[in-house]
Amino acid sequence: MTPLAQIIRKKIETEGPISVGTFMELALGHPEYGYYRTRDPLGRSGDFTTAPEISQIFGELLGLWVADMWMQMGSPPRFSFVEIGPGRGTLMADAMRATRKIKGFHDAARIVLVETSPVLTEKQKKTLVSYDVLWADSIDNPAVENGEGPIILLANEFLDTLSLRQLQLYRNEWYERVVVNKEAGFAFDVSNQVYDSEIAAYGATDGAIFETSPEREAFIRNLSGLIHVRGGAALLIDYGHDRAGLGETLQAIRAHRFVSVLEDVGENDVTSHVDFSALARVAKLADMYIYGPAGQGVFLESLGIRQRAEMLMWGKPPVQQKEIVEGMRRLTHSAQMGQLFRVMALCHDVNLRPAGF
């Protein structure tokens, strides 16, 4: 049993069953043993590979997206260029390289990385050594809140790290799904308290699962508040769906394979699909204008991924040309990341027209 599993076992022993959300929060974010506190999970030798690690074009196009938003805002002399959950800093490095010829952009951009992992912060420091960077541990931090000018924020595969709540149907009532101790480890169960909600049970049979994420919604509420006060825009990319529905998407991944959510706690990445419809609803209530969600494939094509790939291939040996084409294909093809990954933009001003939608 992992040290974190022992800690959670004790907690359940003394406090009773814990919600799926609390379990996920501890698995990923426990200050000492949480998955994201202890390792760099990315890449071939890690647990999963993300878009910026697949192709440099991803970060380049996102950088140009940010520069276009900045110009649409009237090229303000200062703005906060924020990335939350920046991994190895690859996306930010590609974004900055792609925008270095845009007049005034680098002078205006104050880069802020919002990160909780000490291991990844070290990597980001190395990747971005030639830039002035501020770090913050959340968006409710003076480095983000008190910046000058508007804010433009990028988040790729960040929302899915925020915890999930699961409800389960039993005799026409919804109950909170919880984790309990069993002799051999952990097991799922339902709490004995009816969850008072308006989720329609029509068509759902006993055992059906409905997922919500108060933590993701709270993040979008905070982000919208921030954009409302400072002006600006955000681009959110993650795997997920555009409409809420029944069904379980909670999953654990290790070394590029699905594994049990309840085993080896702290050693597996625990995630779930993001319900973009719920996030759009929260953002609209906070007076944001919403674009998307669109498929990542369509989004990147409309930002010119093909043209950029052709340019990159020019004069390169065939092996590298093949890599460039394969990277583009992985990001855009509907059988790969093109459909499952959704892109949504928020902005404060009706006159802004985020590119790619």
Residues found near ligand SAH in the complex (CB under 6 A): 36, 42, 50-53, 84-87, 91, 114-117, 120, 156-158, 161
Between 87 and 295, CB nearer to ligand SAH:
87
Between 135 and 195, CB nearer to ligand SAH:
135
**Tokens standing for 264?**
């080896």
We find the least distance from the C-beta atom of residue 31 to ligand SAH, in angstroms, to be: 12
Classify residue 314 by its DSSP letter: T
Which sign, positive or negative, has the C-alpha torsion 111, 116, 117, 122? positive
Q: How far apart are CA 34 and CA 41, in angstroms?
A: 12
We find the least distance from the C-beta atom of residue 179 to ligand SAH, in angstroms, to be: 20
Between 55 and 212, CB nearer to ligand SAH:
55
Distances (CA, A) of 75 to 24, 68, 105, 346, 351: 41, 9, 8, 19, 15
We find the least distance from the C-beta atom of residue 173 to ligand SAH, in angstroms, to be: 32
Region label for 67, one of left (φ > 0), alpha (ψ between -120 and 50) or beta (otherwise): alpha
We find the least distance from the C-beta atom of residue 223 to ligand SAH, in angstroms, to be: 12
Q: How far apart are CA 78 and CA 90, in angstroms?
A: 23
Between 82 and 190, CB nearer to ligand SAH:
82
Q: Which residues contact 60 (CB under 8 A, 6 or more apart)?
A: 94, 95, 97, 98, 308
We find the least distance from the C-beta atom of residue 340 to ligand SAH, in angstroms, to be: 15
We find the least distance from the C-beta atom of residue 89 to ligand SAH, in angstroms, to be: 9
Between 168 and 332, CB nearer to ligand SAH:
332
Alpha helices (H) along the chain: 3-15, 20-29, 35-38, 51-54, 56-72, 90-98, 105-108, 118-127, 142-145, 214-230, 276-285, 296-302, 305-313, 318-332
Please, what is the end-to-end C-alpha distance for the chain in angstroms? Answer: 47
Between 17 and 59, CB nearer to ligand SAH:
59
We find the least distance from the C-beta atom of residue 140 to ligand SAH, in angstroms, to be: 11
We find the least distance from the C-beta atom of residue 138 to ligand SAH, in angstroms, to be: 6
Between 72 and 222, CB nearer to ligand SAH:
222
We find the least distance from the C-beta atom of residue 236 to ligand SAH, in angstroms, to be: 11
Torsions phi, psi of 279, nearest 5?
-70, -40
**How far, in whole angstroms, is CA 123 from its chain's centroid?**
19
* CB distance 336 to 282 below 8 Å: no
Between 17 and 356, CB nearer to ligand SAH:
356
Please tell me the total number of residues recorded for the chain in this structure: 357
Strands 79-84 and 109-114: what pairing?
A: parallel
Which sign, positive or negative, has the C-alpha torsion 295, 298, 302, 304? positive
Between 139 and 190, CB nearer to ligand SAH:
139
